[in-house]
Structure 1
Amino acid sequence: MVFLETIHSMFKHLHWANQRILETLQNGEENKQANTLFSHILHAENVWYTRLKGADSSHLPIWAEVSLESCVEMINKNHHNYGEFLARISNTNLDHLVLYKNSKGTEFHHSIRDILTHVALHGQYHRGQINQKLRAVDLEPINVDYITFRR
């Protein structure tokens, strides 16, 4: 049960961090590189959710930039989808293997546990890159640290 509690908390953090980055991007001057990275985070969340459902994700965009208005919709959709998925999952399902193909058609298989962990961590990597882009144009990076979320 401990892993599920941790993953639930990590996905709450993911949503919180996405909201903070979105607000920062909405309130600042347009930064194409930061917007592209943020769009990628949201597209990737959708791709992994599609794979977790057992559906084909090879047709879904992964690096397509979308407007910040579309990002709002994507954040809400991803939050809803993962919320429902996590509500249905149990410890007995975590080691179930998910077979999927990446965008190049290469087949992989990973456990639900590993995929959920990856999704929760993947966005944090790119949010760090976004903060680096913001700092490069003399904007204050947004604190999206997990411990700040827990406070």
Structure 2
Amino acid sequence: MTPWHRWLAYERYCIRPVVEALRSVPEARRLEPSYQRAVTLLGHLAVALECWLARVDGEAQSAVALFPTDLSVEEAAHRIDRALDHWEHLLSRLNAEELERTVSYRTTSGVAHRNTLADILAHLFAHGAYHRGQIMLLVRQLEGVPTQTDFIVWARTTQNPA
């Protein structure tokens, strides 16, 4: 397994614990704006994976809500799973040289940029960890049960299962 495939496996692993943490929030607290913010952040993770995949594939992007407010927890998780399937398929076709290829794209605000595919992947994984941390903070504040999604915790369980 390449390091990039390992990172994708970790990203996929994180979905279920985050969903369970959001489900642990008491029903009455799910009506609060901070719960919707947490769900919106999960949707944002799905949109980011999809947007970056389109950019890497050279697809034209239509206007997209970066922070969708109309997705359920389950819909966001499903979209993340589906996007990770596409990323895995993409990576399965690439070699180390192709990971260093430059991708030209436009941001959602129309600004042109260029980055290597490896840099884009690194960004996606840091981006996911950042927003999962925000979601867990909101879950804790909403009296739910936060979960650990730290990479090292996952690595310990996959390399040395107890």
Is the TM-score greater than 0.5? yes
1:104 aligns with 2:101: no
1:24 aligns with 2:21: yes
Could you say what the CA RMSD is over the residues aligned between the two structures, in angstroms?
1.5
CA distances 1:13-49 after superposition (whole Å, capped 9, x unpaired): 1111122112222343322111011111111111111
Alignment-mate amino acid for residue 61 of structure 2? S
1:134 aligns with 2:139: yes
Structure ID, larger Rg: 2
Structure 2 residue aligned with 1:6: 3
- In structure 1, the gaps of 5 or more residues are none
CA contact (8 A) 2:11 2:125 kept: yes
Structure 2 residue aligned with 1:45: 49
Report percent identity of matched pairs: 25
1:33 to 34, 37, 59: 37
Structure-1 separation of matches of 2:135 and 2:54: 25
* Aligned length in residues: 148
Structure 2 residue aligned with 1:54: 58
Structure-2 separation of matches of 1:89 and 1:118: 18
Q: Which has the higher contact order (CA 8 A, sep 6+)?
A: 2
- Offset of residue 108 of structure 1: 0.4
CA contact (8 A) 1:58 1:105 kept: no
CA contact (8 A) 1:58 1:101 kept: no
Alignment-mate amino acid for residue 122 of structure 2? T
Which stretches of structure 1, 4 residues or more, deviate above 6 A after TM superposition?
none
Structure-2 separation of matches of 1:16 and 1:108: 31
Structure 1 residue aligned with 2:160: none
Alignment-mate amino acid for residue 57 of structure 2? K
Structure-2 separation of matches of 1:76 and 1:13: 12
